């Protein structure tokens, strides 16, 4: 995914559409489409440093705005359609009513961290908002962590690429790989924790959901 656009293609898109190219690609990725939003941000920042044709401040603003808007679209899609799809068809992949309640509970407890840190992990960057919506993460909490993650991500990768240019291109791949490995490790740890505490977590999920319905 990271090589979907090369630097020449990014420069061409920026010359034709300017900051809108950054906003649209990042927004579409954040809403659930497998597009290279991070590559676009990094490439645009390097282009700005080498050419002087774009402002790094506006690039960061466009990327952060795209991340926030796209994630909100993904959240709405997950909330309106994802949850119903899981209710109807989740049993086909082992997600019965108990597992759906547990998913809501886990997102209620840790969904903010998943949304924030998911911004820095390729697959989660595409899926986090959809999962948050489908698992009914409360909207105010989602909006806060979504905005915080989008802004911090745009600042780190935008300024990093702008000031380090070619050096940042070399380390971007290892950074993405390390993030993916950390994400996989976190999933494994959570799975082990869930298997060791399944009964208690299901009781806590039922208690939490019953309290929210009162």
Q: What are the tens digits of pLDDT across the range 47-87?
A: 998 888 899 999 999 999 999 999 999 999 988 887 777 66
pTM value? 0.77
**Which pLDDT does position 64 carry in this prediction?**
97
Task: Write the CB contacts of 32 (distance below 8 Å, at least 6 apart in sequence).
Answer: 74, 77, 126, 127, 129, 130
Q: What is the three-state SS of 107-142?
A: HHHHHHHHHHHHCCCHHHHHHHHHHHHHCCCCHHHH
CA dihedral 55, 60, 66, 72 (to 10 degrees): -150
Task: Write the CB contacts of 156 (distance below 8 Å, at least 6 apart in sequence).
Answer: none
Provide the residue-wise pLDDT of the chain in tens; the chain has 214 residues: 445 667 788 888 998 899 999 999 999 999 988 888 888 998 899 999 888 889 999 999 999 999 999 999 999 998 888 777 766 655 555 556 666 667 777 788 788 888 998 888 877 788 888 888 888 888 999 999 999 999 999 999 999 889 887 666 566 667 666 666 766 666 666 667 666 666 676 676 666 666 655 5
């Amino acid at each position: 995914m990271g090589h979907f656009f090369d630097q020449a293609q990014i420069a061409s898109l920026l010359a034709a559409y300017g900051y809108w190219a950054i906003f649209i690609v990042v927004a579409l990725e954040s809403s659930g489409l497998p597009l290279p939003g991070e590559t676009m941000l990094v490439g645009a920042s390097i282009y700005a440093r080498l050419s002087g044709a774009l402002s790094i401040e506006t690039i960061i603003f466009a990327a952060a705005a795209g991340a926030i808007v796209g994630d909100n679209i993904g959240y709405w899609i997950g909330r309106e359609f994802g949850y119903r799809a899981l209710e109807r068809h989740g049993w086909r992949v082992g997600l019965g009513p108990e597992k759906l309640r547990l998913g809501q509970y886990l997102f209620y407890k840790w969904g903010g961290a998943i949304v924030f840190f998911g911004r820095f992990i390729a697959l989660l960057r595409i899926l986090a908002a959809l999962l948050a919506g489908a698992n009914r993460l409360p909207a105010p909490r989602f909006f806060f962590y979504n905005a915080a993650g989008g802004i911090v991500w745009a600042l780190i990768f935008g300024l990093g690429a702008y000031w380090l240019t070619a050096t940042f291109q070399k380390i971007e791949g290892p950074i993405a790989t390390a993030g993916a490995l950390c994400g996989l490790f976190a999933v494994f740890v959570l799975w082990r924790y869930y298997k060791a505490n399944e009964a208690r977590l299901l009781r806590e999920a039922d208690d939490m959901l019953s309290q929210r319905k009162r």
